[in-house]
Structure 1
Amino acid sequence: MRRSAIRWVSVLAVGALALAGCAGKEERAGDRGAGGAGWAEGDTIKIGLISPMTGPYAILGILQQNSIQVEMDRINQAGGVGGAELELVVRDSALDPGKAVQAANELAGDAQVRMVVGPSLSAFYNAAKGVYEQNKKINCQPGVGTGDFGALKYGFRSQDPNDIGVEKLMQYFKSKGVKSVGLVYEADDAGKANDGFLTELAPKYGIEYLGFQQTRPDDQSHRPYVDKLKDAGAIMVSSNVSGAKTMAAAGEAGYGGILAGTSGLQNVSFLDAAGDMAVDAVFSAVNVQFNIRDKESWKPGYRAHVEEIVKRHGVVEGPKSGAKMPKGTAIAADCVTAFAAAAENVESLDADALAPAIEKLDISDAQTPSGNRIKPADHEFFHVEDMHIYRWDKDGEGWFITDVTPES
């Protein structure tokens, strides 16, 4: 069950410009319904991406585009979807809510756009999701950490929601004998949401929640916040520069507990900011094996996808830390995998056939780009049991992660 009372929604959308088709052609793929050979053959199926492609957060859009295109190329090389090729159409939100909503309205009204990925950011999706529902537009969200997708008919999420990340951390803390936890985080929507998750989930695992220390953008040091939580067995931190300040303060204070966060701690930008204080820090995330050195342990679909990403686009390397990550985000590619599988299963591109077909999917973690099982019966691709706990370590060869997920 989703906790809509303490969650807010953000997004991903798809789109492309409508084509009238050949003169005199009265049918389009998807209007022909299910069944029959060639139900999409000869057509081009457009999938749209709305994401920041320019500006300070352009890396988000670039990573999403890279992974989506790699997966679309794989599917096209294997014969496409119903004999039709997939085509990506990109709209740059420039992290501007007005541009994001404008693009969502455009693509939601485009009859040949069959799925929308974007716009990223919760506030943007809140503004767009009603348009998608009204226009019966399938949309898949790899950049949305909060919100209740179970209430939607056409919207699906391919990112781990923040609440299950927090719950997985509670399971890990319990396995380590942690008795108390505190939160040091910005006083924004994400911080308030995590405060709510901890308030609800910590007692469930027999852990005392010591409260929310709200940071400020102009803080020079987080030492006062850490000092108030010096007796906590674990401290959860933010996934950005603010979290790095918390880690620095913990080092100054000689804090001996566990420093932890959700999936944002996997990013090289966090390591650049946190430096060696990130050693032994843990984070919850769906499958992210890139910094596990034993490639033989990687999920086969994930390995194939990531190796193609690196071959085409290279890696992102932290200028200070030297840590690396692939220049792609495989959970965005999962959206395409799910769309293609559902369309083939029902031999239709109609949204009212596709939505329940996506709900019925159960794709093995060995077969997906992200290396995670896709089973979105509740419109969520991932669940608590799909989460891992990873620990950052560093040696003479650089940064690496170890999977320290507790056994169920």
Structure 2
Amino acid sequence: MKRRSMKSICWMTALVVALGMLWCAPTVFAAEAYKIGGIFAVTGPASFLGDPEKKSLEMAVDEINARGGIDGHPVEAVIYDTEGDPTKTVLAVNKLISKDNVVAIIGPSRTPTTLAVVPIVERLGVPFISCAAGIQIVEPVKPWVFKTAQSDVLAVAAIYKHMQKHGIKKVGILTVTNAFGVSGRDQLLQQAGNYGIQVVSEQAFGAGDTDMTAQLTKIRKEEPDAVICWGTNPGPAVVAKNMRQLGMTIPLYQSHGVASPKFIELAGEAAEGVRLPTGKILVADLLPESDPQKPVLLQYIADYNKRYGGGVSGFGGYAYDAMHLLAKAMEGTGGDKAKIRDNLEKISGHVGVSGTFNFSEKDHNGLGEDAFVMVEIRNGTWKLLQ
């Protein structure tokens, strides 16, 4: 009896272990993987953009595969680091298309690198979702090109509406001399009159400049009510520090290109009081319960922090949204690029980290004014402005 009981126990134990292994085993796919290209500035000066984008793409891919993939096909992300360099971005895109045979591409992180590869994806017919902000990426509409980052058209409008509400009428602008800065400058100049605002001084700075006191001194002479800086780190942090050094106490507005903890880290005490438009992720917990993005944002933040131990930002959300939009568009296509493109253009009502997407033939960004809120940096964190 003892021997028979021991055999039964061993058999049952083995069965439990086997079932446990089966339960915990990853999903086994019979179909071939769909390869998705990712091109991000994972390292280099723009890594604050590209690193969370890479991580968020990987997180989204794992979520999709855990649900069974796309029509039984697993998703495989093939990711290259562009270092924020247009030449390296071109090489990466060519490799993704000719060697890796990807069905679509997500990224890159910056407007200049995006514009460098748009002609390639357009010529070869590859669905492409940029994570950069410049409006010229999708205006005029290009058949194969979409983007998830909130547009600088909406960002400028958000700033000017806030200024108008608070009686600011004269501004000095300081913009970086790359595609992102040029696009921002154009919008700042074009929209100013719509809000009764006058641009009294217009200055520029190089992406690698380490001192902007000369430009700020020229702006100060024109006695503006506020300064608007348009760029991505580290330049905008230098502007904030230089304004403090010059004793300039008027409000400083920044673009959504610095909407991450990295700006606060770089600017230090000079970040205090800086205002900027941002996606809702920085103030997700402050949003009303009625906001449809709130549960999506809180879940993304929790999952990202659990997986990577912190560092969440709206920039990662651009890639996360892109992958989930792409997954939706890929359903029922068999990986056919033209069908994926067509389906992307039909997506509406998709609530993501960056906003609610409503693509169309005439709009390949698909976001409205509600994708932005205005925030102010106070005591080293973000506060929602009214």
TM-score range, shorter chain: 0.7 to 0.9
Write the distance in 2 (CA, Å) between the matches of 1:60 and 1:386. 19
2:301 matched to which residue of 1?
306
Give the C-alpha shift of residue 41 in structure 1: 6.8
Matches within 5 A, 1:9-408: 42-109=31-98, 112-149=101-138, 150-215=140-205, 217=209, 219=211, 221-222=213-214, 223-229=216-222, 231-238=223-230, 239-289=232-282, 299-316=294-311, 325-326=312-313, 329-344=316-331, 346-365=332-351, 368=352, 370=353, 372-377=355-360, 378-394=363-379, 399-405=380-386
User: Structure 2 unaligned runs (5+)?
Assistant: 1-28
Partner Cα separation in structure 1 for residue 185 and residue 47 of structure 2: 29
Q: Shift of residue 236 of structure 1?
A: 0.3
Instruction: Indicate if the aligned counterparts of 2:46 and 2:233 stay in contact, CA closer than 8 A.
Output: no
Following TM superposition, by how much is the alpha carbon of 1:170 offset from its aligned partner in structure 2, in angstroms? 0.9
Counterpart CA distance in 2 for 1:337 and 1:250 is: 41
Contact 2:35 2:78 in 1 (8 A): yes
Amino acid at match of 1:202: A
Structure 1: how far apart are the matches of 2:84 and 2:180? Answer: 18
- Checking the alignment, whether the CA contact within 8 Å between 2:110 and 2:132 is kept in structure 1 is yes
Q: What residue ranges of structure 1 are gaps of 5+ in the alignment?
A: 1-39, 317-324
**For residue 23 of structure 1, what is the aligned residue in structure 2?**
none
Contact persistence 2:107–2:319 (CA under 8 A): no
Aligned residues: 349
| 2: CA distance, partners of 1:104 / 1:161 | 23
Q: Which amino acid aligns with 1:311?
A: K
What is the TM-score normalised by the length of structure 2?
0.80
Change (3 A) 1:261 1:309: same
How far apart are the structure 2 equivalents of 1:191 and 1:49? 24
Aligned-partner Cα distance in 1 for 2:314–2:372? 22
Deviations 1:67-93 (A, max 9, x none): 011111112112211121111111232
**CA distances 1:188-240 after superposition (whole Å, capped 9, x unpaired):** 444433332122101011111213123462636355134224x3222102443
Task: Kindly name which structure, 1 or 2, has the bigger radius of gyration based on alpha carbons.
Answer: 2
Per residue, is there more helix in 1 or in 2? 2
Superposition deviation, residue 329 in structure 1: 0.6
Identity of aligned residues (%): 21
Residue-by-residue CA offset, 1:319-360 (whole Å, 9 max, x unaligned): xxxxxx45971111101111111223x544322222221112
Question: Please, what TM-score do these two structures have when normalized by structure 1?
Answer: 0.76
- Report if aligned partners of 1:195, 1:211 keep a CA contact under 8 Å in 2: no
Give the 3 Å change call, closer, same or farther, for CA 66–148 of structure 1 in structure 2: closer
Taking structure 1 as reference, are residues 226 and 292 closer, same or farther at Cα in structure 2, changes over 3 Å only?
A: farther
Give, in whole Å, the separation in 2 of the partners of 1:111 and 1:189: 29
